[in-house]
């Protein structure tokens, strides 16, 4: 009996989705989008509301005069549907106004030659970076840094310069991820999540910026961070971190509730970080602002 009821419920659910799709297809723009993406019926049925959101957000953009009046769910971006390897993905794309902002900032990509070398406390790191730059190729197994120290001492600045230089001059693929923000944004959209995870896992060099400043959740620690680090370890990919916390403080931070389970899981992350990096400290004046 139970099985029969289940099957019946599934059938009802299916026919409701089918009906929903049929009604939605009466809308010209919806039908066009489904056609352009070459979606089969099953895929389209499951994603009706998401596809409608795509249309809605593009409409908002069409009528928009600037970021200040953005109506979309992720400011200055619109939801886009794309097909990659025969699968449907939803991603957020910077809008035309945001692209101008990005283009403007792009001119200010920091490179190694921009680094001011007057701060003696930074010299050890800069020297290390010079050597790393010379030696690095994606096929070599090279450790990154766990660079910790005081706020505003130049941790993010220096490592960004190194990664950008490798990217521009040696065509190395890089990802710089401001960790607290990344966790927040990927939590909201599963498709964005898988897309970003793929990038974080597979890029030649990854910089996880400001680890320890995030609000820790089990999901962020185990599913996101743990997965990325394990993959990068297994595939011998170079990974950098910056943090205001020492490795011991980070271990404490990642253990959340201090239950014994959390302590084990936090320890596991720390072990991975230690395998991936060389520990260096940078304590200097705060140069921010
Ligand atoms: P941290 O990540 O350690 O908190 P940042 O890397 O953000 O600090 O550095 C703060 C600011 O100091 C940067 O935005 C940059 O303008 C400046 N800065 C730090 N080091 C240098 C340097 N070697 N050359 C030029 N500017 C620097
Ligand atoms: Mg920083």
Residue 191 has pLDDT above 80, yes or no: no
Tell me how long the chain is.
Answer: 289
pTM: 0.70
What confidence tens digit (pLDDT) does each residue in 106-151 have?
A: 667 899 999 999 999 999 999 999 999 999 999 999 999 999 999 9
Report residue 79: phi and psi, to 5°.
-75, 135
Residue 4 has pLDDT above 80, yes or no: yes
User: 196 alpha carbon to ligand 1 midpoint, in Å?
Assistant: 26
Residue 103 has pLDDT above 90, yes or no: no
Residue 2 has pLDDT above 70, yes or no: no
Please tell me the predicted confidence (pLDDT) of residue 105: 66
Please tell me the predicted confidence (pLDDT) of residue 102: 80
Closest CA to 37 of 69, 82, 79: 82
Sign of the dihedral defined by the CA atoms of residues 134, 137, 140, 144, in that order: positive
Please tell me the predicted confidence (pLDDT) of residue 49: 96
* 222-238 average pLDDT score: 97
Mutate to test the pocket of ligand 1, among 287, 288, 289 (most ligand atoms within 8 A of CB): 287
Exposure b/e, 172-196, CB count within 10 A at least 16 = b: bebbbbbbeebbeebeebebbeebb
Ligand nearest 157 Cα, by number?
1
Measured from CB, residues less than 6 Å from any atom of ligand 1 are 115-116, 119, 122, 151-157, 242, 287-288
Average pLDDT, the chain: 93
């Amino acid at each position: 009996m139970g099985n029969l009821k289940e099957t019946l419920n599934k059938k009802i659910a299916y026919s409701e989705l089918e009906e929903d799709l049929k009604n939605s297809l009466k809308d010209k723009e919806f039908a066009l989008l489904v056609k352009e993406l070459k979606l089969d019926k099953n895929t389209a049925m499951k994603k009706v509301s998401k596809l409608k959101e795509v249309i809605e957000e593009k409409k908002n953009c069409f009528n928009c005069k600037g970021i200040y009046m953005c109506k979309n769910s992720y400011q200055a971006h619109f939801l886009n549907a794309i097909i990659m390897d025969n699968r449907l993905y939803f991603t957020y794309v910077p809008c035309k106004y945001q692209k101008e902002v990005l283009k403007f900032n792009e001119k200010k990509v920091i490179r190694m030659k921009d680094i001011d070398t007057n701060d003696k406390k930074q010299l050890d790191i800069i020297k290390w970076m010079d050597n790393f730059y010379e030696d690095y190729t994606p096929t070599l197994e090279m450790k990154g840094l766990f660079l910790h120290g005081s706020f505003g001492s130049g941790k993010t600045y220096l490592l960004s310069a190194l990664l950008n230089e490798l990217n521009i001059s040696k065509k190395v693929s890089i990802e710089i991820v401001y960790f607290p923000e990344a966790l927040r944004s990927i939590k909201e959209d599963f498709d964005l999540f898988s897309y970003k995870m793929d990038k974080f896992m597979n890029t030649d060099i990854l910089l996880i910026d400001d680890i320890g400043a995030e609000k820790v959740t089990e999901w962020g620690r185990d599913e996101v961070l743990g997965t990325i680090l394990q993959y990068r370890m297994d595939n011998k990919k170079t990974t950098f971190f910056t943090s205001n916390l020492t490795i011991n403080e980070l271990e404490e931070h990642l253990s959340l509730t201090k239950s014994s389970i959390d302590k084990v899981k936090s320890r596991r992350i720390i072990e991975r970080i230690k395998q991936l990096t060389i520990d260096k400290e940078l304590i200097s004046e705060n140069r921010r602002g």
